[in-house]
Amino acid sequence: MSEENLSIVSHVSLGTNDMDAALAFYDVVMVTIGAVRQEEIRLPDEGLVAVAYGRAFPEFWIQLPENRRPAEVGNGVHVGFVAADRETVQRFHAAAVANGGTDHGAPGPRPHYGAPYYGCFVRDPDGNKLEATFRDAGVPAST
């Protein structure tokens, strides 16, 4: 798989304080970018503690923090997801806002990120910042 995957990232994990709310959010939002549940981890005395999403393998995890202390949002941290086109960015944003997330930057170009960039920012129910990005290869990098 490593020869087929050009990414340097194995996976990303975000903590949640409310697994049910997080899964209600991510089950809808992740499908907009072609990702579905790939794996679940259940512990005998605790039940469901982690769920992984991805297109072909676990890439993005939502989990209870391992130390079982409250999950906290990292200042300056966000997770960016690849979108297939502008419409996918729009669907990602709409699904997030309709399912417990909050807008943190509506879909659109961000010229300061380069002319090919089109994206959006949202926060999940725990306050984690997410981005969906489409880089249009048909648009020159500098205009």
Whether 141 shows a pLDDT value over 80: the answer reads no
Which of 84, 97, 95 lies closest to 135, judged by CA?
A: 84
Whether 143 shows a pLDDT value over 60: the answer reads no
Rounded average pLDDT over 117-128: 97
Whether 1 shows a pLDDT value over 60: the answer reads no
SS3 32: helix
CA distance 82 to 91: 13
Rounded average pLDDT over 54-80: 93
- Domain 12-65+78-135, CATH: 3.10.180.10
Contact between 75 and 125 under an 8 Å Cβ cutoff? The reply is: no
Strand ranges for 71-116 from DSSP E? 78-82, 102-109
Specify the pTM. 0.89
Whether 3 shows a pLDDT value over 60: the answer reads no
Q: Where are the domains of the chain?
A: 12-65+78-135
Whether 140 shows a pLDDT value over 90: the answer reads no
